[in-house]
Amino acid sequence: MRTGIATIPLDYGRCPRWLFERMRRLGRGIAEAIVEEFGPEEFLKRLSDPVWFQSLGCVMGFDWNSSGLTVTTLGALKAGLFEIQDRLGVYVCGGKRESRKTPEEIEAYGVSRQFSFAPQLIYASKMAAKVDSSLIQAGYQIYHHNFLFTKSGKWAIIQQGMNTNNQTARRYHWLSSKLKQTSNKKDFIEEPHTGIASQLRGKPLNLTAKKSENNREISLKLATETPKTFFKDLDLIQTLSEVKPSESKNEGKPEEGKLHCIKRAKNLTEMSLCDKEFHWHPVVEEKFDLKRLEKTIFSVKEWAPEDFEKMLSLKGIGPKTIRALSLVAEIIYGARPSYEDPARYSFSVGGKDGTPYPVDRETYDKTLEIMEKGIKNSLVSLREKTEAQKRLSRLI
């Protein structure tokens, strides 16, 4: 169950060395306590919960409402677990500066530890980045990516995007065991997240929603079966979007033989459509690079991907290509995608008023016990342990 919105303002600057060192030791202690008690897979499961992860960062000492909590908490965990990763059975790859090197790090572990599943992990890392940058188009550019996995091949992904226009960040959480199983493989496309934390919610193009299934199917067919028709339709949409209201014979009504009539607003064109399953569509005023788009689409046709996920995984397929395909699929074929923002997170143990469900006292107490055990086992001073326990009490 997912509800609520986390506040994560976009911050700049660096974590002080003295704080990072203490976070490293405290994070290591908490990780060891959880793995010792429940195993490495449970540690990944807890990190995939946006609320629990936020709480962990706060207990470790970072600002509760800062985008830097994600980067610093995971950086401290990566540094703290490095020396004990083989004993613990948990490996941490990526980061802020190392996000693009994540596949290389996974491959290195695959070679040095003889992990035969390394190629599957690399694929998961790349697909998560593509999904969050191309299928959820809310104006957030991915700049941080961490990939954590166990000796058994289970994995979790935590990545973050920034929106420099409104100075906010959005955090995406993934867990391998939560992906839907379809046709003997994991589904990376339809509602794959364990949670998305964000300060703001809007109406982004959301092709991960189940409601967008028809739009995805038609987009795939446009690229693989009828690319020439796709470009004709896209040209028609862009040409008609340039018609001014004064050129329309009947205000508010489509002209005979025209696709729509148009009412313009700043950066927006509202198109009233005739004889379609829907009556309007917001079209962002943007000019697609047709030469580049044509090269990409015909490349897709040549590769002939069997499903939407395979198409998305191809080199060159990015947000603009997906947006163009989705636009034609909706306007011309009536396959409306979802514009519901998936940025929500789960309560870790419920709410006192029963929303979204009553407090799970047993889970609550166990969570506190593990946090306290981790604080006790960490290699920090008595004063630092006391301060950590106070932060934990404030969270309660």
Q: Which of 108-122, 209-223, 259-273 has the lowest mean pLDDT?
A: 259-273
State pLDDT tens for residues 115-161: 999 999 999 999 999 999 999 999 999 999 999 999 999 999 999 99
- Whether the predicted pLDDT of 213 surpasses 80: yes
Percent of the chain at pLDDT > 70 equals: 74
Which pLDDT score, from 0 to 100, does residue 364 have?
58
For the chain, what is the mean pLDDT?
Answer: 81
Position 286, amino acid: E
| Among the listed residues 47, 5, 59, 43, the one whose alpha carbon sits nearest the alpha carbon of residue 368 | 59
Which pLDDT score, from 0 to 100, does residue 343 have?
84
Position 124, amino acid: A
Which pLDDT score, from 0 to 100, does residue 56 have?
84
pLDDT interval class at 43 (50, 70, 90): very high
- Read off the tokens for 371: 């946090």
pLDDT interval class at 361 (50, 70, 90): low
State pLDDT tens for residues 374-394: 777 776 677 777 877 777 776
How far apart (Å, rounded) are the C-alpha atoms in residues 354 and 68?
32
3-state secondary structure of 14: coil
Those residues whose C-beta lies under 8 Å from the C-beta of residue 224, and which sit 6 or more positions away, are 300, 301, 304, 305, 311
- Whether the predicted pLDDT of 348 surpasses 60: no
> pTM (2 decimals)?
0.79
- Whether the predicted pLDDT of 16 surpasses 70: yes
Token pair 């693989």: residue: 224
Token pair 């107490």: residue: 365
Q: Which residue has the higher pLDDT, 368 or 84?
A: 84
State pLDDT tens for residues 162-202: 988 888 889 999 999 999 988 788 999 999 999 998 867 78
Token pair 């006790």: residue: 376
Q: Which residue has the higher pLDDT, 347 or 359?
A: 359
- Whether the predicted pLDDT of 283 surpasses 60: no
Q: Which residue has the higher pLDDT, 19 or 326?
A: 326
- Whether the predicted pLDDT of 203 surpasses 60: yes
- Whether the predicted pLDDT of 248 surpasses 60: no
pLDDT interval class at 340 (50, 70, 90): very high
How far apart (Å, rounded) are the C-alpha atoms in residues 112 and 330?
48
Which pLDDT score, from 0 to 100, does residue 235 have?
87
Q: Would the CA dihedral through 221, 181, 176, 2 be positive or negative? A: positive
- Whether the predicted pLDDT of 396 surpasses 90: no
HSE-up of 290 (CA within 13 Å, CB side)? 10
Which pLDDT score, from 0 to 100, does residue 257 have?
42
- Whether the predicted pLDDT of 252 surpasses 50: no
- Whether the predicted pLDDT of 280 surpasses 50: no
